Amino acid sequence: MNALPAFLRGLRPTLHISHRGGASLAPENTMEAFRQAVERFHTDMLELDVHVTRDGEVIVAHDDTLERCTDGFGPLAGQTLSELKKLDAGYGFTPDEGRTFPFRGQGVRIPTLREVLRAFPALRLNVELKPDVPGHEEVFARLLEDEGAVERVCMGSEQDAVGERLVARLPHACHFYPRDALAALVIALRGGEPPPEDPRFTVLDMPLYFGEVRLVDADFLRDCAARGKWVNVWTVDDPDEMRRLLEEGVGGIMTDRPDLLRQRMDDLTKPG
């Protein structure tokens, strides 16, 4: 078994992980969401997504296009950082299905990954690199190295080609499984078959359900732990599922509702 990545050393289940900073409570992937998750809900980790701009800057955003979250239009990759910084990143957020938009015009901007790393210098991040563009892993890796942040980022991609290039560039970092490699591992473990050995990836960032099938339970977590793997489950916003996962000892819970997860975690630690 390979040595545990520095990212995972000292961690104990269950981690409070704010998905995109807590996308149900504030504009996703923005400093406003990240600060709220850290300062109000004492999150253990931020989950976020990054892209590379036309002028080679690493910015925090999920979508390839701008329409859903901002007042901009078109492909994100076609914009420079200065162009993206002019957009209202709070424009699309609504807590009540479109009745109100409380963050519009409030100065919310798309952050760079460098800004996030510097704002929370002691915090671990789970970062997905998007999309599949050869060379972007080099830009991303150089930034982490420049900021001395390689050991506090667990990185990867849904796409296997991107995940493999990240491993090749940063072999000693913490990497989560990409889609096909993850599916092969989960199917084998759920079916009682010997799973494929792949020491490149240590963390399973995975859905709780596939259709009606609950993929994660105590037996699955034990099987993963026996192989030196850590399991984070996304995106869990139901309090009953949170409670069950906490009781089962899942590695981390990724949620858009960091307020509810904090409440459930606090409930379990109260005396009596």
Whether 2 is in a domain gets the answer no
Tokens describing residue 58: 């690493």
Give the CATH number of the domain where residue 39 resides.
3.20.20.190
Is residue 184 in a domain?
yes
Give the pLDDT confidence score for residue 271 in this predicted structure. 72
Residue 159 has a pLDDT of: 98
Domains contained in the chain, number: 1
* Amino acid letter, residue 200: R
- The residue segments making up the domain with residue 254 are 11-269
Domain membership flag for residue 229: yes
What pLDDT score was predicted for residue 272?
57
Strand partners, 233: 206, 253
Q: What is the pLDDT of residue 157?
A: 98
Residue 145 lies in a domain: yes
Residue 226 lies in a domain: yes
Asked if residue 4 is part of any domain, the answer here is no
Per-residue pLDDT at 270 = 76
Within a domain: 5: no
Residues found in the chain: 272
Asked if residues 221 and 229 have their Cβ atoms less than 8 Å apart, the reply is: no
Instruction: State the Cα torsion 223-241-202-166 to the nearest 10°.
Output: 150
Amino acid identity of residue 61, one-letter, is: A
Let me know: does 154 contact 126? Beta carbons within 8 Å: yes
- Residue 3 maps to a domain: no
Q: What is the pLDDT along the chain (272 residues), one digit of tens a residue?
A: 457 899 999 999 999 999 999 999 999 999 999 999 999 999 999 999 999 999 999 999 999 999 999 999 999 999 999 999 999 999 999 999 999 999 999 999 999 999 999 999 999 999 999 999 999 999 999 999 999 999 999 999 999 999 999 999 999 999 999 999 999 999 999 999 999 999 999 999 999 999 999 999 999 999 999 999 999 999 999 999 999 999 999 999 999 999 999 999 999 887 75
User: Considering the entire predicted model, what is its pTM?
Assistant: 0.97
pLDDT on residue 1 = 47
